[in-house]
Amino acid sequence: MKQLVIQFLKSLRQSFQDLLPIILVITFFQLVVLRQPVPQLGEILAGGLMVLVGLSLFVQGLQMALFPLGEEMAYSFVRKGNLWLLLLFAFTLGFGTTVAEPALIAIADEAAQIAATGGVIADVEEARQSYATGLRLVVALAVGFALLVGVIRILKGWPVQYLIIGGYIAVVIMTGFAPKEIIGIAYDSGGVTTSTVTVPLVAALGIGLANSIRGRDPLIDGFGLIAFASLTPMIFVMAYGMFF
């Protein structure tokens, strides 16, 4: 218990250092560039304190739960030796964590609005809804597919760059054919898919797999899953824009 408190205090100090740049930037621009007083100082201080405690708790919980869980799952799957189950797990994890992602829901609704304004779909609530849902499913499928391919890559020991660069070339080629309105959204959708809870879990899973398979290096083979998860949504969303 005492150890936990000391750890937490350390983590608080670290979090304060992490947040210091934001405080400096905001203060500088507010006071020096814009020359405005800081509004609602009380709320800002309270909010800042919440951010500080929240970040410390998160980092603590990361080490206690998310990292060990991800690695433990990886070891168990390797010991079990059933490839199909591992692949099913990878796909489900990618699909399940993405489909409910709040940032993705927001961007899908916005995209539906754009498509409606651009005359791609009818500007009625129903059409927008089905377009937004379709987009969300497509992105979730893309992330599930990404983790699936990423896990196969770790098992086989393929170098990550061939797959990723191949994917980028596909993105560049598709950019030439996809409707103009979808390009910005497609590019952005790659960035929003990987949430704060998914990232540590997926990183731990990849490293756990690379650690438990002989001949794999955790640094070279363990990382890369997140890169796949940010690449495939671009391809899938542009394809969605081209065919629907």
Partner 1 sequence: MDALINFGGTILNMLTDVLPIAAILIGFQVLVLRRPILHPARVFVGLVFVLLGLALFLEGLELALFPLGRLMAEQLTTPSFILGEGADVITSFTWTDYVWVYVFAAAIGFATTVAEPALIAVSIKANQVSGGTITVNGLRFAVAIGVAFGVALGTFRIVTGTPLHWYIIAGYVIVIIQTSKAPRAIIPLAYDSGGVTTSTVTVPLVAALGLGLAETIPGRSALLDGFGLIAFASLFPMISVMAYAQISEWRTKRTRKTDSDNSS
Q: Within positions 28 to 87, which residues make up the interface with partner 1, using CB under 8 A?
A: 28-30, 33-34, 36, 38-39, 43-69, 72-73, 76-77, 80, 85
Helix, strand or coil for residue 216? coil
* The pair of three-digit structure tokens given for residue 151, joined into one six-digit string: 């896990």
Kindly state whether residue 212 participates in binding partner 1, applying the rule CB under 8 A. no
- In the region spanning residues 225 to 244, those forming contacts with partner 1, defined by CB under 8 A, are 225-227, 229-230
Rank residues 130 and 161 by Cβ distance to partner 1 and give the closer one: 161
Query: If binding means CB under 8 A, how many residues of this protein chain bind partner 1?
Result: 105
CA–CA separation, 212 and 76 (whole Å): 10
Kindly state whether residue 21 participates in binding partner 1, applying the rule CB under 8 A. yes
Kindly state whether residue 177 participates in binding partner 1, applying the rule CB under 8 A. no
Candidates 6, 83, 165, 242; binder of partner 1 (CB under 8 A) is 165
Kindly state whether residue 220 participates in binding partner 1, applying the rule CB under 8 A. yes
CA dihedral 209, 70, 73, 194 (to 10 degrees): -80
Single-letter amino acid, residue 144: G
Query: How many separate helices (H) and strands (E) can be counted in the chain?
Result: 10, 0
Helix, strand or coil for residue 122? coil
Kindly state whether residue 144 participates in binding partner 1, applying the rule CB under 8 A. no
CB-CB contact of 224 with 156 (8 Å): no
Candidates 108, 135, 147, 183; binder of partner 1 (CB under 8 A) is 183
Candidates 207, 209, 237, 239; binder of partner 1 (CB under 8 A) is 207
